[in-house]
Amino acid sequence: MSVIIYHNPNCGTSRNTLAMIKASGESPEVILYLETPPSRERLVELLAMMKLPPRELLRRKGTPYDELTLDDPTLSDDQLIDAMMAHPILINRPIVITPKGAKLCRPSEQVLTLLDRPVAHFVKEDGEHVAYPPT
């Protein structure tokens, strides 16, 4: 299995994560999930791999989260997944899958724990320095 990233090139966290993967010597499969959203079955599988309930994968900023009243605690997991299927922008990103596991990589340096040869030093787009392992 290679490295897979569910990526949004308009997202700084996603861009930094992808850059860390590449700086670590990997050539990931990049899935532009807004253009090619996961199937319902794949989304459920991703949630299980990350051990996340659907509510924890929902993105609020820049999405129809509020207008769809997705903060309603009575909404079921299936209803939240339905919302993500109808509006893929609600799926938080980036999601990275490697042989070591799957993770929502927020912050982006979380990806380093999933890589075989993680880059030791990285400078994010905003100038923040990341060292791995953390000191």
Distance between CA 98 and CA 1 in Å, rounded?
7
Q: What is the per-residue pLDDT for 127?
A: 97
What integer best gives the mean pLDDT of the chain?
96
The predicted structure's pLDDT at residue 134? 82
Say yes or no to pLDDT of 135 above 90: no
Catalytic residue positions? 11
Long-range contact pairs involving 40-46 (C-beta distance under 8 Å, separation at least 24): 40/81, 40/85, 43/81, 43/84, 43/85, 43/91, 44/81, 46/6, 46/95, 46/97, 46/102
Instruction: Examine the pLDDT at 56 and tell me if it is beyond 80.
Output: yes
Q: What is the pTM of this model?
A: 0.95
Q: How many CB atoms lie within 10 A of CB 129?
A: 8
pLDDT at position 104 is 98
**And the tokens for 106?**
């927020």
CA distances from 126 to 4, 32, 77, 109, 129 (A): 24, 23, 35, 13, 9
Tell me which of 1 and 48 has the higher pLDDT: 48
Model pLDDT, residue 53: 98
**Cα–Cα dist 89/59, whole Å:** 7
Please give the CATH topology (third level) of the domain spanning 4-131.
Glutaredoxin (3.40.30)
61-110 pLDDT tens trace = 999 999 999 999 999 999 999 999 999 999 999 999 999 999 999 999 99
- At residue 1 the predicted structure's pLDDT band, cuts being 50, 70 and 90, is low
